[in-house]
Structure 1
Amino acid sequence: MTGSPDSTPSPWTDPDRPPLREADLQRALASAGGLWREVRVVAETGSSNADLAARAAEDEGLVLVAEYQSAGRGRLDRAWTAPARSGLFFSVLLHPEDVPVARWGWLPLLAGVGAAEATTRVSGVDVRLKWPNDLMVGERKLAGILAERAGTGVVLGIGLNVSLREDELPVPGAISLALAGAGTTDRGPLLRAVLREIETLYRRWCAAGGDARASGLHDAYVGMCATIGRRVRVQLPAGRLLVGTATGIDDDGRLLVDGPDGPEAVGAGDVVHVRPGGEAPQA
């Protein structure tokens, strides 16, 4: 893991992709009594999730932002990479001690709601959620979230495409804020907004003991979820394929699918939205 752009300047040549300033982010986010107590920006690392997992015994509120990740991972252990400074690639460490572990499955959904709401507000792009926690613009993927248990806590990693050009996208089904016509691609204000929104939702959720309905998280997620009401194809972990209509989200954050054998709650799986003609877009 290399040093912060503030402490160890590194050359950059693309004027559309200036480096983030660690000192500015620390000053704006790490206020007394706030959730975020340390914000660090590094020029390059393998995986920000792995770096924070190694610090899992520390108090919650750590934020690690990587300008470039050489070994980034997405859900289902998929490899993920993007050009340096082309997006927001960061992880946070949380210890929801007042919430039963059985309810921790809501954390990646919570992060999805916070990231989508903040991104829509700052960029002007209408961002929706695909269950469980992909951020979408139309049928194209803007961001993904990876949650991993680490010691007695959870590390949440977020990768959001900001200025990627069409020829830089990892897959044809991806998109960036720039390609979506965002009003701004300034990563500093966007990161601050996302972290503040996640903090607000997290504090409310923890105060409710992780009850997604009592905290308002369930309603917020359902209101932003583009999967509900759609015909979906779900590749389940055991290899079984479930095709049906997504009808809602249960109290555990599982996707409810009305399949050929009746309603089924899906806790994990690779979901594809099926177009009316039966064709599934690329994941």
Structure 2
Amino acid sequence: MDTPPGAEENPSDGPREPRSSQWSDLGRPPLNVPALRRGLLREGGLWSEVDVVRSTGSTNSDLVARTEAGKATEGAVLVAEEQTSGKGRLDRQWTAPARSGLFFSVLLRPAEVPVARWGWLPLLTGVAVATGLSRVAGVDTALKWPNDLLVTVDGEERKAGGILAERAGDDGVVIGVGINVSLRAEELPVPQAGSLALAGAVSTDRDPLLRAVLRSLADWYERWRSAGGDPAASGLQETYAAGCATLGRFVRAELPGDRSVVGEAVAIDGDGRLVLATEEGVREPVGAGDIVHLRPA
């Protein structure tokens, strides 16, 4: 296995850690790498390689670096048992205890799709993640535009996951996903955070969860790519809107330069932008790349 710079060896291939280690939590076993590879790598399938590292700063940074060095093919999957410098949008940090979640990145090269439609990839990933988790964890999930996964804990919506897309070279996109799986209440970084466990998941076994998410992602990616990236023809636009918790709510979109737009979120347009109906009767689309924060109005 080609271990990315700054990452340690796969724990499944190395010695067992002392019981006093952060890695000795019996409720958080390591991922079963051989089983993951058997379940995901098949001839003609999207996934070409699955690597798991014990710890790294950011799987996105590592996979982007591999890609730009010519050491990754489409369908490469890089998973970390722990991320010490996980990234969100606008360089926001995402950290969680070791083995408490799923932290992974994938490399996609949608050559058949016009670059103008690549902005749908984070939304596509959100649909795929929500679908896969619902099937295996039995948790109702919702999507907060543009890149958050929400679960319900004690009657309130909380963020349990996030998605980050980055260009890699001239023809690649690395999609990073972070999902809080077994995070306990006392481990929450902020009170507004959540996890599958806190939302009452029927299973927090990360192996089947990861397989389900990646299979769902491969299915949606193939459907979207076969339609030339057309979000309507592939069913992506309709499915995303159906699961988007942002629609129907009054929100404030905070934009660069201290500008903001307030209105009811009424649609996701063909470019994946959130359309706000303002009090002035104007429908104003807001792109994910332009927004700093999206908050309740």
What's the TM-score bracket when you normalise by the shorter of the two chains? over 0.9
One-letter amino acid of the counterpart of residue 115, structure 2: V
Match of 2:10 in 1: 4
One-letter amino acid of the counterpart of residue 245, structure 2: A
One-letter amino acid of the counterpart of residue 29, structure 1: L
Give the fraction of aligned pairs with identical amino acids, expressed as a percent: 60
Match of 1:184 in 2: 203
One-letter amino acid of the counterpart of residue 55, structure 2: E
Match of 2:135 in 1: 121
Matched, 1:157 2:176: yes
Measured in 2, the distance between the counterparts of 1:241 and 1:10 equals 52
Say which of 60, 65, 72 aligns to 1:54. Answer: 65
Measured in 2, the distance between the counterparts of 1:10 and 1:62 equals 27
TM-score (norm: length of structure 1): 0.94
Q: Which runs of 4+ in 1 moved over 4 A?
A: none
Say which of 90, 95, 100 aligns to 1:86. Answer: 100
Measured in 1, the distance between the counterparts of 2:245 and 2:293 equals 12
One-letter amino acid of the counterpart of residue 66, structure 1: A
* Match runs of 1:1-283 below 5 Å: 1-11=7-17, 12-56=23-67, 57=70, 58-138=72-152, 139-151=157-169, 152-261=171-280, 262-268=282-288, 269-274=291-296
Q: Note if contact 1:227-1:273 (Cα within 8 Å) is conserved in structure 2.
A: no
Shift of 1:226: 0.7
Measured in 2, the distance between the counterparts of 1:238 and 1:3 equals 44
Deviations 1:6-46 (A, max 9, x none): 22244232111000011111111011111001001100011
One-letter amino acid of the counterpart of residue 203, structure 1: E
Deviations 1:113-162 (A, max 9, x none): 00011111111110000001210014210100000001020000000000
Which ranges in structure 2 are unaligned for 5 or more consecutive residues? 1-6, 18-22
Measured in 1, the distance between the counterparts of 2:98 and 2:236 equals 33
Deviations 1:188-214 (A, max 9, x none): 000000000000000111111110101
Measured in 2, the distance between the counterparts of 1:53 and 1:107 equals 16
Measured in 2, the distance between the counterparts of 1:9 and 1:220 equals 45
Aligned residues: 275
Change (3 A) 1:10 1:98: farther
Q: Which SS does the other structure have where 1:103 is aligned? A: helix
Which ranges in structure 1 are unaligned for 5 or more consecutive residues? 279-283
Q: Note if contact 2:147-2:163 (Cα within 8 Å) is conserved in structure 1.
A: yes
